Structure 1
Amino acid sequence: MPTPPVTELTDRARAIFRLVVEGYLDSGQPVGSKALAGEGGLNLSPASIRSVLADLEGLGLLAAPHTSAGRMPTESGLRLFVDGMMQVAEPTREERKAIERRLAEPGPIEQALEQTSAILSDISGAAGMVMVPRLEPRLAQLSLVNLGQGRVLAVLVGEDGAIENRVIELGEGVSPQLLEQASNYITARLAGRTLPESVAAMRSEIASGRSQLDEASRSLVERGLAVWSEDAAQRPVLIVRGQAKLLDEAALSDLERVRSLLDDLENKQSVAELLESAREAEATRIFIGSENRLFALSGSSVIASPYRDREGRVVGVLGVIGPTRLNYARVVPMVDFTARSLGKLIG
């Protein structure tokens, strides 16, 4: 059933729905009609409140885990609350200064990334995650060496002196002259560029007819560079801190869910892929429960934000992961501020 827009709820239903969600996010426990009747400003009997709760349950916004228990928000209810009702609590001046002070501690950028993950864990009471900026070496020289049987060794030398090797499967019929021509082309035309920049420049030159390479050489150059570019993109590095905070008192009644979440976090490649989906976002993204396939079984939420270098380029993603009862109103702006603060340190 599609989630109704918040404007379709009556004022009474909105007030009761907000109290249930906020009470659940605060305690991790279902909220009953008696507790709601005691809230100031409602002026409703428990019977009237129960009637509204039943209506909200019928709309798929609330659920009762047990017959005699109170109500808690469903994933659809949390999405409605986050998108249409939540009032974010911006970090205080003291909180902002504390974050900036921890990030500014002397040390290499790797230390700042570790600190960022720990900060995110501290402010959320859950696990903090930081995707390390991709290493994009600038090309100094690329050599192609025939290994026989259709296999070619690509030797990449970066401007920083780093050397990496990759084996490319090209098929039979690759001559030494062809390899030399392709190597010379790459070194002469593309030196000083990163791999993605090199691929884009090479394709542009070939498409415009400015390249003097024949068809075989074009294919070899493109495949050689594409292998490098794809390989760099497929090697994300993820820092996760604060997993132990997922084992709080509220989690003790749902250990299977927490165990599933911890297993998911062990698969850092899959977690990194999830964070990658937030890379092009203009603002902080929120994934609630089964909205993301990876954490559907553990019923967890992810709050993620891209962070940029001083030139405004997205270089990584950071965020937190925890139970769906995260304090979204507090954590979302804190994640956003931490992303902006980290970006100021990235050259």
Structure 2
Amino acid sequence: MASPTITDLTDRARDIFRLVVEDYLASGQPVGSKALAQSGAVNLSPASIRSVLSELEILGLLAAPHTSAGRMPTESGLRMFVDGIMQVAEPTAEERATIERKLSAPGPIESALEKTSAMLSEISGAAGMVMVPRREPRLAQMRLVALDERRALAVLVGEDGGIENRVLDIGDGLSPADLVEAGNYVTAQLAGRTLAEAARAMQAEIASGRSALGEAARHLVEAGIATWSEDAARRPVLIVRGASNLLDESALTDIERVRSLIDDLENKQSVAELLESAREAESARIFIGAENRLFALSGSSVIASPYRDREGRVVGVLGVIGPTRLNYARVVPIVDFTARSLGRIIG
């Protein structure tokens, strides 16, 4: 049977469905007909409400965890609610000011990314995630330092002050002077370029015979280019903070689900690939439970939004992950606003 749409529901069924979902997302507990009747939100008897709840259960939008319990939304029900009923609550002026103040504090971009992940976790009560921008730093200098007869350390200094070290296999017959010559040549070629850009320029110059490098230094540069320009995907690309938030009171009754989720988060490459699928989105994307294979077993939801630099280019993705009963109406606009704020900061 095809999944029902919001237009398939009567006004009465839509109102009761919305109340069940909102109450469940707020409390994490199944919602019963008696509680709905006593709330005064619907002018129906408990018996009439039970009849509507049964209809919604037949449609696959609600489920009862056990006999005599109230109802809770299924993943299909949550998807319908998010797409057709939910009214988002925009961040308050205080929340916006807090986010911008924390992100604009002085420090390197890595610090802003750490703060972003921690802040998303704090606001959502779930785990915050930020993908590091897939953008190589522009480099200012490189030095080569001998470690032993066959290995050297390449020290790469970025224009932003960041430092990265890489070990190279240099083979035999290289003197300290050869290392200095190769280091000076690479530094001259960097000149504000990324490592990949500098590598292409060096390859072209060496191939054309224009390079004034000595034989030993030339071989070192040629051998090192591939190592220096390794794909950034081999570096850690994901910052996760607040995983302990996933161990709330409800987790004690479903410890296997939480253990599965923690295991999923340990596989950062797979989580990063999931976030990657949100790179082209105009705003936040919501993945609910089994809609994504990675989190199908743990029954978790992911809210992810791309962040862009000042030229409008997507440089990364951030978001939160938690149980499917996340407060979507509050968290979705928070994630979107944080993405816009981070994009303004990273330039």
User: Is this a same-fold pair by TM over 0.5?
Assistant: yes
For 1:301, the aligned partner's letter is S
Q: Aligned to 1:26, what secondary structure does the other structure show?
A: helix
Unmatched 5+ stretches in structure 1: 142-154, 168-188, 202-211, 213-223
For 2:19, the aligned partner's letter is L
Q: Does 1:21 align with 2:25?
A: no
State the alpha-carbon separation in 1 of the partners of residues 256 and 129 from structure 2: 22
Correspondence for 1:40: 40
For 1:104, the aligned partner's letter is S
Correspondence for 1:147: none
Q: Does 1:270 align with 2:270?
A: yes
Cα shift readout 1:40-91 (whole Å, capped 9, x = no counterpart): 2411111111111111111110111101111100000000000000000000
Correspondence for 1:50: 50
Q: CA deviation at 1:281?
A: 1.1
Aligned pair in 2 of structure 1 residues 38, 162: CA closer, same or farther (>3 Å)? Answer: closer
For 1:39, the aligned partner's letter is S
State the alpha-carbon separation in 2 of the partners of residues 3 and 227 from structure 1: 51
Correspondence for 2:249: 249
Conservation of the 8 A alpha-carbon contact between 1:134 and 1:236: no
Correspondence for 1:206: none
Cα shift readout 1:270-325 (whole Å, capped 9, x = no counterpart): 11111111111111100000001110000000000111112211111110000000
Q: CA deviation at 1:2?
A: 2.5
Q: Does 1:114 align with 2:109?
A: no
State the alpha-carbon separation in 1 of the partners of residues 70 and 267 from structure 2: 35
Correspondence for 2:315: 315
Aligned pair in 2 of structure 1 residues 27, 232: CA closer, same or farther (>3 Å)? Answer: same
After TM superposition, the structure 1 = structure 2 runs for residues 197-208 of structure 1, keeping only pairs within 5 Å, are none
State the alpha-carbon separation in 1 of the partners of residues 262 and 13 from structure 2: 36
Aligned pair in 2 of structure 1 residues 199, 27: CA closer, same or farther (>3 Å)? Answer: farther
Correspondence for 2:284: 284
For 1:303, the aligned partner's letter is I
Q: CA deviation at 1:157?
A: 8.2
Q: Does 1:328 align with 2:346?
A: no
Unmatched 5+ stretches in structure 2: 142-153, 170-188, 202-207, 209-223
Aligned pair in 2 of structure 1 residues 108, 139: CA closer, same or farther (>3 Å)? Answer: closer
For 2:75, the aligned partner's letter is E
Total equivalences in the alignment: 301
Q: CA deviation at 1:140?
A: 9.8
Aligned pair in 2 of structure 1 residues 43, 229: CA closer, same or farther (>3 Å)? Answer: farther
Correspondence for 2:92: 92
State the alpha-carbon separation in 2 of the partners of residues 200 and 81 from structure 1: 51
Q: Does 1:68 align with 2:72?
A: no
State the alpha-carbon separation in 2 of the partners of residues 64 and 159 from structure 1: 57
Correspondence for 1:294: 294
Q: CA deviation at 1:197?
A: 7.4
Aligned pair in 2 of structure 1 residues 229, 73: CA closer, same or farther (>3 Å)? Answer: farther
Q: CA deviation at 1:111?
A: 1.3
Correspondence for 1:260: 260
State the alpha-carbon separation in 2 of the partners of residues 162 and 121 from structure 1: 29
TM-score normalized by structure 1? Answer: 0.76
State the alpha-carbon separation in 1 of the partners of residues 229 and 60 from structure 2: 45
State the alpha-carbon separation in 2 of the partners of residues 282 and 199 from structure 1: 34
Conservation of the 8 A alpha-carbon contact between 2:127 and 2:320: yes
State the alpha-carbon separation in 1 of the partners of residues 37 and 65 from structure 2: 20
Q: CA deviation at 1:104?
A: 1.8
After TM superposition, the structure 1 = structure 2 runs for residues 106-255 of structure 1, keeping only pairs within 5 Å, are 106-137=106-137, 194=194, 231-255=231-255
Q: CA deviation at 1:134?
A: 2.5
Conservation of the 8 A alpha-carbon contact between 1:131 and 1:236: no
Q: Aligned to 2:231, what secondary structure does the other structure show?
A: helix
Aligned pair in 2 of structure 1 residues 134, 164: CA closer, same or farther (>3 Å)? Answer: farther
Correspondence for 1:339: 339
Q: Aligned to 1:344, what secondary structure does the other structure show?
A: helix
State the alpha-carbon separation in 2 of the partners of residues 40 and 15 from structure 1: 12
Q: Aligned to 1:128, what secondary structure does the other structure show?
A: strand
Aligned pair in 2 of structure 1 residues 140, 105: CA closer, same or farther (>3 Å)? Answer: closer
Q: Aligned to 2:254, what secondary structure does the other structure show?
A: helix
State the alpha-carbon separation in 2 of the partners of residues 138 and 107 from structure 1: 17
Q: Aligned to 1:311, what secondary structure does the other structure show?
A: coil
